[in-house]
Amino acid sequence: MPEVRIKTLPPPHGGKLVDRVVRDPQMARKLMEKCSAVYDIKPTLFKGNPVRNVYREIMSVCYGFFSPVEGSMTKAELESVLEKRRLLSGWVFPYPILFDISEEDFKKLGVGAGDWLLLRLKGEPFAILEIDEVYEITPGDVAVRTFGTPDKNPEVVKVPFDQKHTGYNIYCSLNPIILAGKYTIINEPKLRPPFDRFWYPPKRAREEFEKRGWTTVIAHQTRNVPHTGHEALMKNAAYIGDIKPCDGIVVNAIIGAKRIGDFPDEAIVEAHEMVHLAGYIKPERHMVTFTLWDMRYGNPIESLIHAVIRQNMGISFHMFGRDHAALGEYYDIYATQILWSKGIPSFGFDAPPNEVPGGFYIRPQNIAEFWYCPKCGEFAYSENCNHKGIYSRYSGSFIRGLLNEGLMPPPQIYRPEVYKVVVKWWQKFGYPFNNEKYLKEREERLEVDLPHMELPAHLKK
Amino acid sequence: MAKFFGVVIDDKRMAALKGTPLEEKVEPIFGGALRRLVIEVPDDLGQKVIDQFTKARFDARGFIEETPAAFKRLVFKKIVEKKSLGPEVIEAAVAEIPSIKDEVAKEDRELPVPDIDISDVLELQKNPVQKPA
């Protein structure tokens, strides 16, 4: 008889967790001595608004969320990712991870392959980039190839990507010069509240799971304040497991640049936390975490980065719903579920990503939809409930519309405690959520503070 | 595929519909926790609405969402005036968007915080289960 119990957490993607954080100040000083120039990290702007900050990618690389990726990709690695969604080592990886710089800044720095560049964040030393290669990209070309086209990817891409798509704009707005090489954080940032209590990089997440005795864990992807439909999804999806439902439910919020009108990230993590603080899921079974990443809204492509992140955290299953990490109607609404049920050959997957060489141990839990059915008297699963015409489907946009009209969402939609968390951050940041002032201030504030660290004398010039 | 425009019907709006044929068209949602009227909108007209407002979008259900509250009020006004749930209601509302320009601009700047007591959640947050690293 095959053993059905899951006794261990899945291995990291690529076999080993990347940990490129130097915690010894003396070692950090030694490494800084080897740097030949200093560069202040700047946000990527689209029409003057911040849409990405490369510091988030450096954090996610160095703390192991993106294992086995260790830095900014070389030209050959970039081509491999765009062409096959594989690293040169053969491991699945969906997105270009690049350190881009303007021609003007590149000339000013005067660095090249073999040099080390000290990266400064918020005026303090932050990380080192060991430059292996310098090359040029055509940002628009990278953007198109990253997300696909209806011609090349007819299985799931419905219309060409354009400037209404945030992720496409991120790649289109990259600078043309790429400095490729490994990142190392040499001045460990302090996470700002409230993010500090949700900071579980892969190593810490795995330690926490082991402490709790969890071997079966399911991930819930979020960029939203949870409504009762999300809660029903989490509770029901977690019935997958081995001989019993999953030990743990881990919410992993994607924290990064957002669109005007989205909920503030502070409200998102605290609202999810309220699900266990207010007792709707036991805190012993529910954890809230986050990953720093400026969401690309790449639906099936995004689901792959989610699998990378969550498997590295030690998570065994991943919920994938309709319109996963999507924006607009560029992809088939079931594109992610198509990928994880039969594969998308044009994107390099003739089988699901957990069944291909270099693929994942994390397993998909493809979920159709939950809606509120007055006849069932519950948050019903769409593949169960047959009460056509009377159920109500959830929509985050609809709920934001209620708030916009000054209406308190009923408890059938939002737990009262969750709504009050939204109000708490509404009091602090104002409305509309993620307004221009908030977005501008948060891009200066970021999610971290950096301890003061002296620059070596040769870099002060 | 046709798109939809939903207008939430609170007590005040319900009173305005009282006695009209539209009263019967009001549908309960979320088990009666909310009520709404739904207008079916052709694709091109739906896109025209989306194009008027930066945040507006079609959601996964095919509904036009995240339009300003001022526009929703205008659509409701047109529903009552025309006693209809046809696309002409949306056409008339789109034609009058210039008249709500100031309201929309104000909405983009601020919306008063709901006056509710949140002390219970602040209390719960005093002792979170997850602690900073």
Where in chain A are the domains? 25-191, 195-443
Q: Which residue, among A392, A400, A437, would best test binding to B if mutated, counting the most B CBs under 10 Å from its CB?
A: A392
A326 min Cα distance to partner chain B (Å): 10
Which residues form the domain of B56?
3-112
Residue of B nearest to A379 (CA): B30
Q: Is residue B125 one of the residues assigned to a domain?
A: no
Residue of A nearest to B105 (CA): A432
Report residue A282's pLDDT band, with 50, 70 and 90 as the boundaries: very high
What is the fold of A195-443?
Rossmann fold (3.40.50)
pTM of structure: 0.91
pLDDT of residue B80: 94
A 152-211 near B (Cβ less than 8 A): 191, 193, 196-200, 204
Per-residue pLDDT for A259 more than 80? Answer: no
| Closest to B133 measured CA to CA, from A270, A202, A247 | A202
Q: Which residues contact A177 (CB under 8 A, 6 or more apart)?
A: A100, A101, A102, A103, A106, A134, A135, A136
Count of positions (residues) in chain B: 133
* ipTM given for this complex: 0.89
Least confident among A83-87, A176-180, A417-421, B107-111: B107-111
Q: Do the chains contact at B60 and A274, CB–CB below 8 Å?
A: no
First to last CA, chain B: 50
Q: Considering chain A, what is the average pLDDT of its residues?
A: 95
Q: Is residue B121 one of the residues assigned to a domain?
A: no
Token pair recorded at residue B105:
């601009």
Least confident among A21-25, A36-40, A110-114, A258-262: A258-262
Q: Which CATH class is domain A25-191?
A: alpha beta
User: How many helices (H) and strands (E) would you count in chain A?
Assistant: 15, 18
How far apart, in whole angstroms, are the C-alpha atoms of residue A432 and residue B105? 11
pLDDT of residue B54: 83
Nearest by CB: B110 against A200, A377, A430 = A430
Nearest by CB: B61 against A278, A395, A423 = A395
Q: Is residue B133 one of the residues assigned to a domain?
A: no
pLDDT of residue A2: 79
pLDDT digits (tens, 9 = 90+) for B55-86: 888 887 889 988 999 999 999 999 999 999 99
Q: Which value, in Å, is the radius of gyration of the alpha carbons in chain A?
A: 22
Q: Is residue B128 one of the residues assigned to a domain?
A: no
Q: Do the chains contact at A260 and B54, CB–CB below 8 Å?
A: yes
Give contacts of A417 with chain B, Cβ < 8 Å.
120-121, 124
Nearest by CB: A410 against B30, B109, B131 = B30
Say what percent of chain A tops pLDDT 70: 100
Spans in chain B with pLDDT lower than 70: none
Nearest by CB: A374 against B32, B120, B132 = B32
Put simply, whether A281 touches B (Cβ < 8 Å) is no
B31 min Cα distance to partner chain A (Å): 5
Q: Do the chains contact at B72 and A323, CB–CB below 8 Å?
A: no
Per-residue pLDDT for A367 more than 90? Answer: yes
Q: Is residue B45 one of the residues assigned to a domain?
A: yes
Give contacts of B6 with chain A, Cβ < 8 Å.
398
Our count of domains for chain B comes to: 1
Report residue A440's pLDDT band, with 50, 70 and 90 as the boundaries: confident
